[in-house]
């Protein structure tokens, strides 16, 4: 082959090689999670969470980041609360204040895919004297009569906003 015919072939090979190398990586497929006992679905589990347990009514998640500690439980609130979200918040306040060095930090009303919800949180001394924080979101169950609670317990820190945001992101996926 003469030099002038090799050059176009080399250019084509080089361009194809560059194109193959510059293809974007595929995003990991979203994990879908459902729990028949709780009658809930999470079509796309946010990347911030991993499944710790999903057997019967026992649904627990953990933060994906190795340096993050804590556990989130999704559960049905006691049936005596009926569908009264405000009463669920008051019960949570009493529960926090009854714990060792429990201090209730307040609640806020939220709006989510399931309608009105409340975010409630407090601090207490956990096992080994470790200061813990519990943030709970109470919402009406999408299909059953009653309240669904997302309870996230984690070591307390100066700023829990990132943890709370990952919990709200999870709440937004709930159906």
Structure tokens at 75: 């559960």
CA torsion 25-30-31-33 (nearest 10°) is: 180
Q: Find out whether 63 and 166 touch, Cβ atoms under 8 Å.
A: yes
- CATH number for the region 31-173 comes to 3.40.1000.10
Average pLDDT, the chain: 87
The answer on pLDDT for 4 being more than 60 is no
The pTM assigned to this predicted structure is 0.81
Could you tell me the pLDDT band of residue 112, with boundaries at 50, 70 and 90? confident
Could you tell me the pLDDT band of residue 2, with boundaries at 50, 70 and 90? low
Q: How many angstroms separate the CA atoms of 24 and 88, rounded?
A: 47
The answer on pLDDT for 116 being more than 80 is yes
pLDDT tens string 21-52:
555 555 567 789 999 999 999 999 999 999 99
Q: How many angstroms separate the CA atoms of 81 and 94, rounded?
A: 14
Output the pLDDT for position 48: 94
Output the pLDDT for position 153: 97
* pLDDT > 70 in the chain, percent: 84
Q: Where are the domains of the chain?
A: 31-173
The answer on pLDDT for 164 being more than 80 is yes
Output the pLDDT for position 25: 58
Output the pLDDT for position 99: 97
pLDDT tens string 64-91:
987 788 999 999 998 888 899 999 999 9
The answer on pLDDT for 3 being more than 90 is no
């Amino acid at each position: 082959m003469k030099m002038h015919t090799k050059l176009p072939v080399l250019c084509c090979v080089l361009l194809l090689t560059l194109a193959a190398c510059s293809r974007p990586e595929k995003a990991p497929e979203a994990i879908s999670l459902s729990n028949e006992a709780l009658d809930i679905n999470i079509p796309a589990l946010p990347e911030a969470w991993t499944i710790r347990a999903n057997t019967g009514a026992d649904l627990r998640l953990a933060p994906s980041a190795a340096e993050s500690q804590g556990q989130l439980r999704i559960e049905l609130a006691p049936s005596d609360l009926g569908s009264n979200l405000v009463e669920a918040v008051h019960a949570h306040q009493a529960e926090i204040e009854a714990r060792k060095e429990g201090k209730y930090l307040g609640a806020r009303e939220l709006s989510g895919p399931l309608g009105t919800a409340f975010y409630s949180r407090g601090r207490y001394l956990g096992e080994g004297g470790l200061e813990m924080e519990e943030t709970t979101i109470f919402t009406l169950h999408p299909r059953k009569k009653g309240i669904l609670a997302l309870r996230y317990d984690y070591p307390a820190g100066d700023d829990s906003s990132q943890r709370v945001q990952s919990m709200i992101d999870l709440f937004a996926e709930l159906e």
